[in-house]
Amino acid sequence: MAMDYAITLPSRPGTHAPAEVIVVHATSEAGPGGRVYTDAEGRYRFVISGDSAELLDGPGPERACHPCLHAVPVR
């Protein structure tokens, strides 16, 4: 059973902006190491393993983002 996950994206270093929390859901796409999860707008794509979310290469916002983030199941 696929579940949704909340992932906290830190702001760009030095901006002192608040972090952004996004919710991602499973897609039918398979990535390296598992199923691909994406946010509702399709800006971010992750592979989630356990409680780690690995950001996949591809189109995305123009801000720095750590390649591996914490994923929390939300349902």
Positive or negative torsion for Cα 11, 26, 46, 42 = negative
Domain that includes residue 32, residue range? 5-73
| Domain count within the chain | 1
Q: What is the pLDDT of residue 64?
A: 53
**If residue 49 lies in a helix (H) or strand (E), which one and from where to where?**
strand 45-49
pLDDT over 70 at 31, yes or no: yes
Q: Over pLDDT 70: what percentage of the chain?
A: 87
pLDDT over 60 at 63, yes or no: no
Q: What is the pLDDT of residue 21?
A: 92
CB atoms near residue 8 (< 10 Å): 13
In whole angstroms, give the CA distance from residue 26 to residue 29: 8
pLDDT digits (tens, 9 = 90+) for 36-58: 999 999 888 999 998 999 988 75
CB atoms near residue 47 (< 10 Å): 19
Backbone angles phi, psi at 5, to 5 degrees: -130, 145
